[in-house]
Amino acid sequence: MGDQKGIETERAPLGITIKGILSLIMSTIDEKKGRRVISLGMGDPSAYTCFHTTPVAEESVADALQSQNFNGYAPTVGLLQARIAIADYLSRDLPYKLSSDDVYITSGCTHAIDAAITNLYRPGANILLPRPGFPIYELCAAFRHIEVRHFDLIPERGWEVDVDAIEALADHNTVALVIINPGNPCGSVYSYHHLKKIAETAEKLRILVIADEVYGHLAFGKNPFVPMGVFGSTVPVLTLGSLSKRWIVPGWRLGWFVTNDLCGTFKNPKVVERLKKYFDICGGPATFIQAAVPRILAQTEEVFYMKTLNILKQTSDICCRKIKEIGCITCPHKPEGSMAVMVKLNLSLLKDVSDDIDFCLKLAKEESVIILPGTAVGLKNWLRITFAVEPSSLEEALGRVKAFYQRHANQEFKY
């Protein structure tokens, strides 16, 4: 057991984090080789000029800062004009209108995840998470002592939720289920019909839905993006989002926690008071960033959104084409949204690679390419490839993966 008075070290194993495993992989890179390192690991495309944010966003922030009106504290739930703007932005896609009281401004979507999980805590509570998923959920749940139960996403069905598994996993202590749509790590975009089925299942089980829509609108395949809040009259939905992905500014730390709840659970004064107190602890993003939100949401041009979608479509196509040339990995479902795809590793075709982590360590050492082992997102012997990368870098990185495979394949290659 951990030291009662000290920092808890043994009681709550905190598991794997994406950043932790990527820094381990990075550390194996041989700097002396002088080869350019290409990362398909983290989802931060802001480093590439083709993914630069819109000037509207930068100007809005600069103007807010220079106005000298936003150097003070913001209300802990967020600046009113930003809450109104986010309510309006999200309401565009809903059959009802959100109010500013439904919106709490957070330090990125990460903080919104913690807000959701912390405020759902009660003794014995458990929460249902997707596998593969986003490990911040597991990490938050471990800190907050909430039990985690996993349901599978099914690759052959476009990574849809195994709805029957949800029913089997849930009991009277289950408080919520999480869906990530558009999906990280799978690149899936759920249909209206599938989302409806999830909402109806949650209603039947009397649990709420946490909808991580940090990739909202980043859909470039056949299914349009449908926000889970559309089903807010069926089941209470907590919508989590941020500027990070659609505007490609993850460093700005501007996110939201939004209650889509026509049933009124989150209007209960006791619940509201508790939420407000939670937000008193953490504060939110810098006030001048919040102050820029109304203009960013109102004035970002359609061409900026389209440009991002076109590049993601193009890079996801490159990704799928190159993957087909690499015998030891297969992609069960072409990505239709977000910035990442899951591919299955066939170890039987490799002579000296023991698992996904070993694959990624050796690949980094020999080819200076970083890929995330599936283990980090809950699927051993899979890989997560981020395609939000400048096209020529992506081509080169996957070319190096192919060369790596040919060197490690257990059959001879003839050229």
Ligand X SMILES: *Cc1c(COP(=O)(O)O)cnc(C)c1O
List of residues contacting ligand X (CB under 6 A): 43, 108-110, 134, 180, 184, 212, 214, 242, 244, 250, 255
| 86 vs 405: CA distance, rounded Å | 46
Nearest-approach distance from CB 109 to ligand X, in angstroms: 3
CB-based contact 374:352 (threshold 8 Å): no
- Min dist CB 340 to ligand X, Å, is 8
What is the helix (H) or strand (E) element at residue 351, kind and residue range?
none
**Cα→Cα distances 127→30, 153, 166, Å:** 41, 16, 11
Shortest Cβ distance from residue 186 to ligand X (Å)? Answer: 10
Element (H, E) at 245: none
Question: Least distance to ligand X from the beta carbon of 140, Å?
Answer: 11
Nearer to ligand X, 184 or 290 (CB): 184
User: Toward ligand X, which CB reaches closer, 244 or 308?
Assistant: 244
In sequence order, what are the residues at sequence separation of 6 or more whose Cβ sits closer than 8 angstroms to the Cβ of residue 257? Answer: 103, 104, 106, 111, 112, 115, 116, 238, 239, 240
CA distances from 40 to 37, 85, 386, 398 (A): 10, 34, 5, 9
Q: Which is nearer to ligand X, 248 or 350 (CB)?
A: 248
The residue (of 181 and 201) whose beta carbon lies closer to ligand X is 181
Asked if 341 and 377 touch (Cβ cutoff 8 Å), the reply is no
Residue whose C-alpha is closest to residue 376's, from 18, 40, 2: 18
The nearest distance, CB 133 to ligand X, in angstroms, is: 8
- Residues with Cβ < 8 Å from 171, sequence gap 6 or more? 126
Residues in the chain: 415
How far apart are the C-alpha atoms of 303 and 192, rounded to whole Å? Answer: 26
∠ at Cα 361 (359, 362), nearest 5°? 65
Which residue of the chain is nearest ligand X when measured via CB?
A: 108
Looking at the Cβ atoms of 158 and 250, the one nearer to ligand X is 250
Min CB(243)–ligand X separation in Å: 7
Q: How far is the CB of 391 from ligand X (least distance, A)?
A: 21
CB of 278 to ligand X, least distance (A): 17
Question: With respect to ligand X, which residue has the nearer C-beta, 290 or 368?
Answer: 290
Closest approach, Cβ 352 to ligand X, in A, equals 33
Residue ranges of the alpha helices (H) in 153-268?
A: 163-169, 192-205
CA 106 to chain centre: 15
For the record, the structure tokens of 192 come out as 């209206």
Residue nearer to ligand X on the CB measure, 230 or 339: 339
What is the side-by-side strand order in the sheet with 208-212?
A: 103-107, 254-260, 237-242, 208-212, 174-180, 126-131, 147-154, 160-161
Task: Give whichever of 212 and 367 is closer to ligand X, judged by the CB atom.
Answer: 212
CB of 407 to ligand X, least distance (A): 32
* 128/328 with CB nearer ligand X: 128
The CB-of-288 to ligand X minimum distance in angstroms stands at 18
Instruction: Give 190 or 405: the residue with its C-beta nearer to ligand X.
Output: 190
Nearer Cβ to ligand X (108/374) = 108
Compute the distance between CA of residue 82 and CA of residue 253 in angstroms, rounded to an integer: 14
Q: How far apart are CA 95 and CA 378, in angstroms?
A: 35
Q: Among residues 343, 339, 342, which one has the least CA distance to residue 315?
A: 339
**Cβ 340 vs Cβ 386: under 8 Å:** yes
Pure H helices in 144-216: 163-169, 192-205
